[in-house]
Amino acid sequence: MTPLSIYHHFDQQADCVLFEGNCLDLLKEVPSNFVQLIVTSPPYNLGKSYEKKQNLNEYVKQQSVIINECVRVLKSSGSLCWQVGNFVDNGEIVPLDLVLFPLFNNLKLHLRNRIVWHFEHGLHASKRFSGRYEVILWFTKTEKYYFNLDPVRVPQKYPQKKYFKGPKKGQLSGNPLGKNPGDIWDIPNVKANHIEKTIHPCQFPVELIERLIISMTKEEDWVLDPFMGVGTTAIASLIHQRKSIGAEIMPEYIEIAKHRITLANQGVLKIRPMERPVYDPKTPDINIPPKKVKMEERFQIQPKLLEKRGKFKNSRGSK
């Protein structure tokens, strides 16, 4: 097992920084133009155990201070992904991406996608339709940004489709590595039966963050999550050999993050694989079991992923 250097304060020698406290205190320690990717889900101001519900303008002001600091530490080739849902008050919803967008826009960031993350589980509403999506606002700091689509391509619907006329007649018409996954992502959220579930009420699924990390960063790049919760961003970064910085105010979540990272370093942390399709009751046999992730194997994950996707297409019904 490779020793993993986990630090509790920012240090450039670390593989992983787990800072217990307010993210603003951590951000002060991070140099400008340092991290390649910031990916986070902030509190939604809903009065969860880890936040105090406040006036929406106050909330936006607080977010603004943190966002300014995040943009300062972001490299010019870097990306910032802010994952949010709705603020809800007395049954009335305010999509947080609408109220936060002007903050990013004023900082002259460039919006590349408003990714819709669709999932099936959540509260059942009775006076409106149940909420079944949240969004990821993906911004880049400049126009010269790093993005690699190939490792996150998904299987083509008709992989054998060929040009039927013209100079390319007979050749495959789609990219053999797969197609662009688009901006609507169907990824199960982490509810009771999810293999990654901890005590955190709203943790990310690792596969959601993996897709961002492997397309927007290179190995050894730094990834920051100012609202780290139980360390999902850190895990997704470390298993792909990126370095991770995160802050969390709740000590019990920091402990769980440390434990999950240790399990991953030992090769026994189970996660839902990116290549596993969403469960469909019409084809219940199609299944890819949870995979154990190990940090030493992180370099090999990308080619294996594509290989497995190919196998999956040809072996419907088998595991």
Ligand X SMILES: C[S@@+](CC[C@H](N)C(=O)[O-])C[C@H]1O[C@@H](n2cnc3c(N)ncnc32)[C@H](O)[C@@H]1O
User: Nearest distance from residue 237's CB to ligand X, in Å?
Assistant: 12
End-to-end CA distance of the chain: 29
User: Nearest distance from residue 23's CB to ligand X, in Å?
Assistant: 4
Local structure of 286: helix, strand or coil = coil
Strand partners, 138: 81, 113
User: Nearest distance from residue 24's CB to ligand X, in Å?
Assistant: 7
Half-sphere exposure of 145 (CA within 13 A, CB side): 22
User: Nearest distance from residue 150's CB to ligand X, in Å?
Assistant: 26
Q: Which is nearer to ligand X, 41 or 77 (CB)?
A: 41
Q: Which is nearer to ligand X, 63 or 241 (CB)?
A: 63
Q: Which is nearer to ligand X, 65 or 111 (CB)?
A: 65
Sheet strand arrangement including 35-40 = 6-7, 16-20, 243-248, 222-225, 35-40, 74-84, 133-140, 110-118, 184-186
Residues 6+ apart with CB under 8 A from 181: 152, 153, 154, 211
Q: Which is nearer to ligand X, 23 or 213 (CB)?
A: 23
Tokens of residue 243, six digits = 């370095």
Place of tokens 């083509």: 156
Output the residue with the shortest Cβ distance to ligand X: 229
User: Nearest distance from residue 202's CB to ligand X, in Å?
Assistant: 5
Q: Which is nearer to ligand X, 257 or 305 (CB)?
A: 257
User: Nearest distance from residue 143's CB to ligand X, in Å?
Assistant: 29
Local structure of 167: helix, strand or coil = coil
Q: Which is nearer to ligand X, 253 or 312 (CB)?
A: 253
Q: How far apart are CA 117 and CA 63, in angstroms?
A: 22
Other CB atoms within 10 A of residue 136 CB: 22
CB 38 within 8 A of CB 225: yes
Strands 291-293 and 269-271 come out as antiparallel
Q: Which is nearer to ligand X, 107 or 249 (CB)?
A: 249
Q: How far apart are CA 309 and CA 154, in angstroms?
A: 8
Residues near ligand X, by CB under 6 A: 22-23, 41, 43, 50-51, 200, 202-204, 227, 229-230, 232, 247-250, 253
DSSP state of 168: T
User: Nearest distance from residue 167's CB to ligand X, in Å?
Assistant: 49
Other CB atoms within 10 A of residue 21 CB: 14
Q: Which is nearer to ligand X, 155 or 185 (CB)?
A: 185
User: Nearest distance from residue 297's CB to ligand X, in Å?
Assistant: 22
